[in-house]
Structure 1
């Protein structure tokens, strides 16, 4: 059944990449560049890319513009997911979600624990869910975290998720 769903899922998904950082710019945003490259390598369409400060209003505006774009299927966010006081990405993303996909964060932390960072995985607050017809993924800002999330979770399922979001329209 899953194989059948993947076969009929969209092969090209329209995406927005948002990097949340107080210090990065386009030249130093390795994680955002990696997300963009991995999307391109998998024939997905990069509709928009933005770097915003770790400020609630800036993150809200960036997500809101993506959600309001009827052509946007997915928003991929990296950065601002930690437990420091300035890390507010998860709270902002959570406020947008109509339906959460708790398995995303759970599996991401499990994979991080197994393959990457060990017990420090408990500090990750990666989250995903949907609002209207847009899926939102939010992962830590390290390039290792982005690579792991993209390879193991986002890219294998993004088309399937978009198909599910649009099947009743």
Structure 2
């Protein structure tokens, strides 16, 4: 975490997929996030797939928050309204400051560029967490992660990290 994000744009990330049905071998969304980040010169420090269980999700995130190599955590999956969707309930209490514009912009882009009015079901969220890190919680579909990473996370990550570490 010695990078000066005012000048340097490279960052390191942990990517976590929350799913009862996906594995490391079948996880298209988590794999796609990693590919997009690597294509843009960023490093993946950790990657994992865990079931839709608060304790499992929370334990991985808490562990990664202690890793000084990680600048941000991107979680995919479990952000909908189904009874097993627990990602938002798990990550929101961890946020020091929520970035409401992220979820608002994500739903707007999803509405206009991707899935139409189904976008209202997304509870995507982002915010700052301890250690001057960022946390993003995205839906589990490949289209959703592509949209969020390409249109919101990659263009603003360096600026967000600079701001949170002033």
Q: TM-score, normalised by structure 2?
A: 0.94
Listed one character per residue, the Cα deviations across residues 80-134 of structure 1 (whole Å, up to 9, x for unaligned) are 0000110000011101001000000000000000011111110000000011211
Listed one character per residue, the Cα deviations across residues 18-42 of structure 1 (whole Å, up to 9, x for unaligned) are 0000111112100000000000001
2:140 paired with 1:141: yes
Runs of 5+ in structure 1 lacking a partner? Answer: 1-6
Match of 1:75 among 41, 59, 73: 73
Q: Would you identify which runs of 4 or more consecutive aligned residues in structure 1 move more than 6 Å?
A: none
Match runs of 1:47-86 below 5 Å: 47-86=45-84
Runs of 5+ in structure 2 lacking a partner? Answer: none
Match runs of 1:1-150 below 5 Å: 8-132=6-130, 133-150=132-149
For residues 100 and 67 of structure 1, the distance between their equivalents in structure 2, rounded to whole angstroms, comes to: 16
Structure 1 position 10, deviation (Å) = 2.9
Paired residues in the alignment total 161
2:154 paired with 1:155: yes
Structure with greater proportional helix content: 1
Q: TM-score, normalised by structure 1?
A: 0.92
Q: Is the 8 A contact 1:74 1:136 kept in 2?
A: yes
For residues 126 and 11 of structure 2, the distance between their equivalents in structure 1, rounded to whole angstroms, comes to: 16
For residues 49 and 9 of structure 1, the distance between their equivalents in structure 2, rounded to whole angstroms, comes to: 27
Provide the alpha-carbon RMSD of the alignment: 1.1
Q: Is the 8 A contact 1:18 1:76 kept in 2?
A: yes
For residues 6 and 65 of structure 2, the distance between their equivalents in structure 1, rounded to whole angstroms, comes to: 24
